[in-house]
Chain A
Amino acid sequence: MASSSSSGLTFKLHPLVILNISDHYTRIKAQSQPPPTSSAVNDAVSSPPPPRVFGCVIGVQRGRTVEIFNSFELLYDSSTHTLDRAFLENKQELYKKVFPHFYVLGWYSTGGDAQESDMHIHKALMDINESPIYVLLNPSINHAQKDLPITIYESELHVIDGIPQLIFVQSSYIIETVEAERISVDHVAHLKPSDGGSAATQLAAHLTGIHSAIKMLNSRIRVLHHYLLAMQKGDLPCQNSLLRQVSSLLRRLPAIESEKFQDDFLMEYNDTLLITYLAMFTNCSSTMNEMVDKFNTAYDRHSRRGGRSAFI
């Protein structure tokens, strides 16, 4: 059912949506299966498959970019295949009050693959948004896979066997984030010390983050390099589109050498150095101040033995 989409829309997904869906799923799963007692052996095979959860995704569409910011739950009756409209409208109202810019972009669900029954829900949402998107999260934990188990489907009208039908087609997406989101996701992902500890541990944690990011960049570049070498040797068929992308990337690199860039960069660099210098200066003067105090204490007590004993 899924082939690649041709609508040309770019999708941007925020991590908040991912966590929302995961939380919804975990919640429903936990409610339906009370926690096992500590003595019972956990046998995943015997428990029934966890129920699917459904919800709505909201966000903004600007031109050809669709940005998904948030999501909320929906009530869906799987026996009668009906969506609770009143609930949906109610929730929409509430969210409109707090986030006036967002509107319904589509819906989400959990499961392994898109199913036939999903088309019903999709069609039901078409009167709110004429081209809704369907976000599918696969909650089965697979340690081997490297990619996020999330797929975004769009619906397209295809002619199959002479009958025009709506089918789901897969689209690619990128993860978009704002700085605050990134920091909190980072924070929770690596469970950094929340009390701050000392400045040293904070700095260490921050640098570790940057270090792993740079390692990732390095490994990716190495992979690209390896691939290009293989193509050159003739091991792999030449893919012109890829070569074009690589060459455009390489052509952008010299932009960093231009004079204007150097000027701006040095100006910023100088600003940071100035602040650090100022900080060091203040630190030095306060240490010196302290030293003078200690000196005074130590030496005064010697000379004025009978005088003021409680100097501080």
Chain B
Amino acid sequence: MDPFSSAAIARQTWELENNIVTTTAANDNSAASDAIFYYDGAAQDAFQQEKPWANDPHYFKRVKVSALALLKMVVHARSGGNIEVMGLMQGKTDGDTIIVMDAFALPVEGTETRVNAQADAYEYMVDYSQTNRQAGRLENVVGWYHSHPGYGCWLSGIDVSTQMLNQQYQEPFLAVVIDPTRTVSAGKVEIGAFRTYPDGYKPPDEPVSEYQTIPLNKIEDFGVHCKQYYALDITYFKSSLDCELLDLLWNKYWVNTLSSSPLLGNGDYVAGQISDLAEKLEHAENQLSHSRFGPLIAPAQKKKEVRKTITFASFIT
């Protein structure tokens, strides 16, 4: 788009107001900003030896995900439909930031009861990493991702124990959860990055981050473990060439934007959410009738929940 179109000006104003820092400068200094793609093996090894995370459980605070990794993860998660899928992420670390450069899928079907990838998945992992290294991707595996289709981005009990194990033996390691159903129905990417606290560590009280609705049948699992891990901030980056291509892609894309209809794609998901909300309201009502002072505390939670689902429902319509 030409630099003086109203769309471009609007975007720039918006970017300014929201302090968006793109790693690619708009001017011609693209080589310096593409530096993030350069893998410095020696520096990475030195960092591994140091292990600064061993002393501070809250060491890693941010995650930078590349455009390619995000696209691959979301497409893979969506292709699983209602089945949980998982995969690994490759990347490197940079101070207190974990950088995810690429992701690949694993040929395992995840169910809630499966703790770890099986033996053939390990073989796949090794094979794939080897071929990648030959092809020029030198980064190591730096985390794993899996999908929670329809029930939000958080770590379940199994996930927490898996991640704790990973953090003992494969540091630095990151857990990422993607919800493809909510992504498609809300029109924005639902993704969360987490690291667990080691056993026995009491985290400082942090303010509750963005509240998300969780279906009743999962809410117990969520509540029991929600204090054992913390969420990291996610930002995205792309190369200068990516920027160009994505801009040009938009010229062909606008048709799809207009023709996409979140309602058609997710009719049953929306209906499911509404019935879940109805159940929760009934629950709240029962609690109300059981106690006298309870009503003041319990409905406060329910109201927040209700409000969140409302905004969500009105948003998709």
Contacts and interface: CB of A to CB of B under 8 A. Distances in A.
B313 A275 contact: yes
Contact of A27 (B136, B265, B310): B136
Interface in A279-312: 279-280, 282-283, 286, 289-290, 293, 312
Interface in A6-48: 15-16, 18-20, 22-31, 33-36, 38, 42, 44, 47
Contacts of B32: 35-36, 38, 42
Contacts of B7: 212, 215
Interface centre among A99, A145, A209, A212 (most CB of B within 10 A): A212
B234 interface: yes
Given A29-B34, A196-B188, A214 B258 contact: yes
A179 B259 CA distance: 10
A279 B313 contact: yes
B46 interface: no
Nearest to A23: B68
B107 A179 contact: no
Interface string B225-250: 00000000111101111101111111
B239 A26 contact: yes
Contact of B37 (A26, A139, A186, A213): A26
Contacts of B138: 31
A118 interface: no
A178 B65 CA distance: 21
Interface stretch (B47-55, B161-169, B196-204, B299-307): B299-307
Contacts of B31: 33, 35-36, 42, 44, 47
Given A177-B256, A179-B184, A199-B311, A188 B236 contact: yes
Given A181-B75, A183-B74, A286-B306, A189 B246 contact: yes
A24 B260 contact: no
B258 A210 contact: yes
B93 interface: no
A177 B72 CA distance: 13
B254 A216 contact: yes
A293 B44 CA distance: 57
Contact of B210 (A30, A196, A209, A272): A196
Contact of B248 (A90, A146, A289): A146
B70 A184 contact: yes
B70 A290 contact: no
A177 B30 CA distance: 29
Interface residues of A, number: 92
B241 A22 contact: yes
A195 B134 CA distance: 37
Nearest to B211: A196
A54 to B, nearest CB: 10
A232 interface: no
Nearest to A99: B105
A75 interface: yes
A180 B77 contact: yes
B241 A275 contact: no
Contacts of A141: 30, 240-241, 244
Given A182-B256, A192-B188, A30 B38 contact: yes
Contacts of A191: 15, 20, 22, 236
Interface string B124-156: 100110011011111000000000000000000
A204 to B, nearest CB: 9
Which 7 A-B residue pairs are closest in the complex by CB-CB distance? A35-B35, A180-B78, A73-B135, A30-B37, A213-B254, A189-B246, A97-B107
Given A27-B137, A148-B251, 15 more contacts: A16-B72, A26-B242, A29-B37, A31-B39, A35-B31, A42-B32, A47-B31, A73-B132, A90-B127, A146-B251, A179-B184, A187-B236, A189-B246, A194-B191, A213-B254
26 contacts: A22-B241, A27-B136, A29-B34, A30-B37, A31-B136, A36-B32, A44-B31, A87-B131, A87-B135, A97-B124, A148-B252, A149-B248, A182-B253, A184-B74, A187-B189, A196-B188, A202-B315, A206-B187, A210-B257, A210-B258, A213-B257, A217-B254, A271-B263, A276-B313, A276-B317, A283-B307
Interface of B: 7, 10-11, 15, 18, 20, 22, 28-32, 34-35, 37-39, 66-68, 70-72, 74-75, 77-78, 102, 104-107, 124, 127-128, 131-132, 134-138, 180, 183-184, 186-189, 191, 209-210, 233-236, 238-242, 244-258, 260, 263, 265, 270, 274, 296, 299, 303, 306-307, 309-311, 313-315, 317
